[in-house]
Chains A and B, each alone.
Chain A
Amino acid sequence: GAVVSQHPSWVICKSGTSVKIECRSLDFQATTMFWYRQFPKQSLMLMATSNEGSKATYEQGVEKDKFLINHASLTLSTLTVTSAHPEDSSFYICSARGLAEHYEQYFGPGTRLTVT
């Protein structure tokens, strides 16, 4: 149980375009979803926290107009990188937390974004 999927697993886009990444909880309802960014050989950096049906809470230094997060249902959250630039290239990981176990997050497999 507690499976989280991400789509796509990797994506290449041209500079200036937008790309959407989906995060789904497959077998549980995720009241809260988290989006992380990970640079090579570094730890996870929390970008934002989203609760179903409400606006996301962004961490300091994360541009909310650039990284649009939507958590429209209890099983789906999306991250849209708008007007992508090469410096946005990174590994993006989502995680989800259910109602029952508020202390534990379940992580998706990640999405490798490359902006050319």
Chain B
Amino acid sequence: AQSVTQLDSQVPVFEEAPVELRCNYSSSVSVYLFWYVQYPNQGLQLLLKYLSGSTLVKGINGFEAEFNKSQTSFHLRKPSVHISDTAEYFCAVSVKGGSYIPTFGRGTSLIVHP
């Protein structure tokens, strides 16, 4: 079975600073990888996904992530954050050829300070 580890439960950062949210996964087979954002009292919105091909994936709101197969990681990055990026971020993995039901990490709370 696959699993996802988000190493940081909370990441505080100042506005306009860069940020990296870490995600590592475990799976014995090929996977799809996702990052979602959740604003307070809302559902999940897809930021970006890796299905195949280029390991650098660009998403919405200026976010990008890089798939690193050897390190089984899919870290999310943004070069300059805004106050409005304050939210909960979830990394998820699903197995290719399986049920495609994603397994979610526990989430990372990004807190952007002015």
**Does B bind A?**
yes
User: Which residue numbers of A lie inside 8 Å of B, CB to CB?
Assistant: 4, 6, 34, 41-44, 46, 49, 91, 93, 95, 97, 102-110, 112
Among B17-25, B38-46, B56-64, B78-86, the stretch in contact with A: B38-46
By CB atoms of chain B within 10 A, which of A102, A103, A106, A110 has the most?
A103
Chain B's interface: helix, strand, loop or mixed, by majority? loop
A97 / chain B contacts, CB cutoff of 8 Å: 100
- Quick one: given A44-B90, A103-B51, A104-B49, are A93 and B104 in contact (CB under 8 Å)? no
User: Closest chain A residue to B88 by CB distance?
Assistant: A41
CB <8 Å contact, A43 and B44: no
Interface positions, chain B 73-114, Cβ under 8 Å from A, are 90, 94, 96, 99-102, 104-107, 109
CB <8 Å contact, B100 and A103: yes
CB <8 Å contact, A105 and B107: no
- Quick one: given A44-B90, A103-B51, are A108 and B102 in contact (CB under 8 Å)? no
- Quick one: given A103-B51, A104-B46, are A43 and B101 in contact (CB under 8 Å)? no
Range for the number of chain B residues in contact with chain A: 20 to 34
User: Which residue numbers of B lie inside 8 Å of A, CB to CB?
Assistant: 32, 36, 41-46, 49, 51, 90, 94, 96, 99-102, 104-107, 109
